[in-house]
Amino acid sequence: MANQLEQLKQYTKVVADTGDFEAMREYQPQDATTNPSLILKASQQEQYAHIVDKAVEDRKSSGLAGDALVESIIDHVLIAFGKEILDIVPGRVSTEVDARLSFDHDGTIEKARQLIGLYEDSGIDRERILIKIASTWEGIQAASKLQDEGINCNLTLMFSLCQAVACAEGGIQLISPFVGRIYDWFKKETGNEYTGADDPGVQSVQTIYTYYRKFGFDTEVMGASFRNTSQIVELAGCDLLTIGPDLLEELQNSEEPVEKKLDAEAAASADIEKLDLDEKTFRFLLNEDAMATEKTAEGIRKFAADIVKMEDLIRAKL
């Protein structure tokens, strides 16, 4: 019998959530996602240190100095990892904008253009790149503008329907609702364990997927941030699922049956109301959702902190 990973691939595009090239080769995902934490972790590993060292050496003669030099080196590290990943996966790689730009509309657009420019200068077609941006109001509006320019975006740190709806209405290519972090919040708040269809993180993605298919939005839904394989199996049929190496291994080592749980035709007939969303409504709905407000802010803080650690690592090499 096929293992769970093989079964899952029949219903859903599997994406590797890692900066580890060997894990990608082993599990053969369609796409790959990275974030500041994953790149920082990989950069500190001996087998990937040469990527960082090369970026440092190459940029030393760029004429830049100080913070501008460090920023340029990090951009080139991100692109170097992305290029290596694209040699392994047949699809796309997600590369993240600095989380400290999460509330900076213009700064996000400028950085995304820079990253796409670096990829294109390296001979990589922009269709293989997703620029990751936090699902703040500013981030979503910036991403919508970028989409108009042909720069596809992946809206990350997503915890609520209002964030998802704003993305769909903005014509965003793909969103990454965070299953595991929603689960973490509710487990901490209630003291309850959640499994299968009772998991609030799973329910969040199901609601978003149903809303999109019901109202005819083309934005891709990619469940992310998993804590266990139960969450993954419950979302079989989602457009994409991005999964870390440990859980990919568990799926590969299990032969338990996987059934399609999300279905576009069934979603189209669901009883769900359409949100009338503008900026004021978005901000109010997000504010009313304590979990989404807290987890979005926490995620931005953590990614921003890891960018600072990455800068320190680069400065030490300089």
Q: Which residues of the chain have pLDDT under 50?
A: none
Q: Which residues contact 47 (CB under 8 A, 6 or more apart)?
A: none
Q: How far apart are CA 255 and CA 232, in angstroms?
A: 14
Domain range for 225 is 4-317
Tokens of 2: 């096929």
> What backbone torsions phi and psi does residue 164 show, to the nearest 5 degrees?
-65, -40
pLDDT digits (tens, 9 = 90+) for 281-311: 999 999 999 999 999 999 999 999 999 999 9
Pair of tokens at residue 33: 């996602």
Annotation says 83 is catalytic: no
Question: Distances from the Cα of 313 to the Cαs of 36, 49, 71, 73, 88, in angstroms?
Answer: 13, 11, 12, 11, 26
Split into its structural domains, the chain has a count of: 1
Residue 40 has what pLDDT?
Answer: 87
What is the pLDDT, as a whole number, of residue 229? Answer: 97
Q: Give the other-Cβ count within 10 Å of 33's Cβ.
A: 29
Q: What is the pLDDT of residue 262?
A: 97
Q: Which of 132, 145, 214, 295 is catalytic?
A: 132
Q: CATH number, domain at 67?
A: 3.20.20.70
Query: Which residues are registered as beta bridge partners of 129?
Result: 93
Q: How far is CA 219 from CA 104, 159, 239, 247, 277, in A?
A: 23, 16, 10, 26, 17
